[in-house]
Amino acid sequence: MNKKVMKRFTTLLLGCVLVAGLASAVQARDLPEFTQLAERNSPAVVNISTQQKSKVQRALPKGFSMPDVPEGSPFSDLFKHFFGEGMDEFADRESQSLGSGFVISPDGYILTNYHVVGDADAIQVHFSDRRTYDAKVIGSDKGSDIALIKIEAKDLPTVKLGKSSDLKVGEWVLAIGSPFGFDHTVTAGIVSAKGRSLPSENYVPFIQTDVAINPGNSGGPLINLDGEVVGINSQIYSRTGGFMGLSFAIPIELAVNVADQLRDSGRVARGYLGVLIQDVDRNLAESFGMAQPHGALVSRVMPDSPADQAGLKVGDVILEFNGKPLLNSSQLPPMVGTARVEEKATLLLLRGGKEKEVAITVGRLPDDEEEASALPAIAQPDDIAQLGLSVIDIEPQVRKELGLDETGGALVSKVSPGAAQEAGINRGDIVLMFDGVDVKNAKHLRELIDQAGDKRTVAVLIHRGDSPLFLALRLKD
């Protein structure tokens, strides 16, 4: 290689290194800057420690008995202190827990999770500058996992509240909390999804992130790149008890709404329609003549509820609530729960293959939930061989216990391999509706099946346990 070629090669190599360096510098500048966000918000984030007293039974170890000690002797009080006087004596035990929170007003109001302070007998709040205050619970709401507590202080640093509705999937967010007691720990990640529904929560459309959240982070703020709090870190999905990449935060709008109600009245009023709902799967969508599955399928309408008064029926599919489309049934409870009580709302329904708009007055969610349990029934079964199904009429006492109408329904007494089993029908289910028609009794169900003709898939409403459920039954030749 001559000198001229070598010179050109060296120049080219240096140019590539320079370009790579510039690209790295540009990329570094494009990464979010978290230092100012942490400095600005950390003073308003608090570590929360609680104490809870519980009763534990004191008893002698197995095989031991209380010795005969003269009353009043020095050993009498010693044995009583350690072992008690019998199996029925209880002792106080203190347990401690840690969580996080953040100040929302200069006069000492702090937002956190219900599960951080819900059962606490004593609460202490610790600031990053080592100040410590005793706190009291102003109000708490288990349904949304929100608690509002207060300390006696003035001119406190506060966070700036934003809007979770403006968040976009893929956006950077920051969390500040006290994982495992390591107070004011900062972690960062992105928004993974919005409007997540969790099995144990009906009224919270969670923000899902991949921010590292661990025990002790609960109640701490989720912050966007503008330095605004957009959520309260609440839960993680974990098989180990530690972080696995799935964290969930309560939207700040919902939290503030709950906090305002707790501060004003000490309780939370949630919207209520009075329906039990389920998802529409592919087979059910086919039976309803829908091009694709979406919406919330009504499987039960509570008597005298807002839905009952508005004329909703079992088998209706709610497609929209106040103009907001429903992709699945889990989106409806948070929408209704955050709606104002006693105000009008509009539902778009699918009924009998046609869309229908219905006006409804949102009610207040009752404090108590209805419970029912199935009782056995004894009758001569009606075998429906083509479906692998045996059904019997329902005894009046069973009907009363389940809160069913005075007539109607057929109790499944046996399920054999066949279409019914494939649809998910189980022994003990009560068939309430077949292809949009209320089932009167076991004989009537057989007639409806015979009349189904060339239909390949029909929707069947059953009552199982304490709730109704639609299943898609695929008929066979």
Which residues are the active-site residues? 115, 145, 218
**Longest CA pairwise span in the chain (Å):** 110
Query: What's the CA gap between 387 and 371, in Å, rounded?
Result: 31
3-state secondary structure 377-409: CCCCCEEEHHHCEEEECCCHHHHHHHCCCCCCC
- Cα 110 to Cα 150: distance, rounded to the nearest angstrom: 6
Per the CB < 8 A criterion, the answer to whether 442 and 430 are in contact is no
Distance CA 4, CA 6 (A): 5
Burial class (CB in 10 A: 0-12, 13-18, 19+), 240: exposed
**Burial track 149-176 (b if 16+ CB lie within 10 A, e otherwise):** bbbeeeebbbbebbebeebeeeebbbbb
Q: What is the Cα gyration radius of the chain? A: 31
Q: What is the DSSP letter of 60?
A: P
CA 451 → CA 174, 291, 393, 435, 444, distances in Å? 61, 25, 20, 10, 10
Q: How many CB atoms lie within 10 A of CB 72?
A: 7
φ/ψ of 109, rounded to 5, equals: -80, 135
> CA torsion sign, 235 to 236 to 238 to 243?
negative
Q: Which of 161, 222, 232, 226 is nearest to 188 (CA)?
A: 222
The answer to whether the CB of 191 falls within 8 A of the CB of 169 is yes
Contact of 43 with 131, CB cutoff 8 Å: no
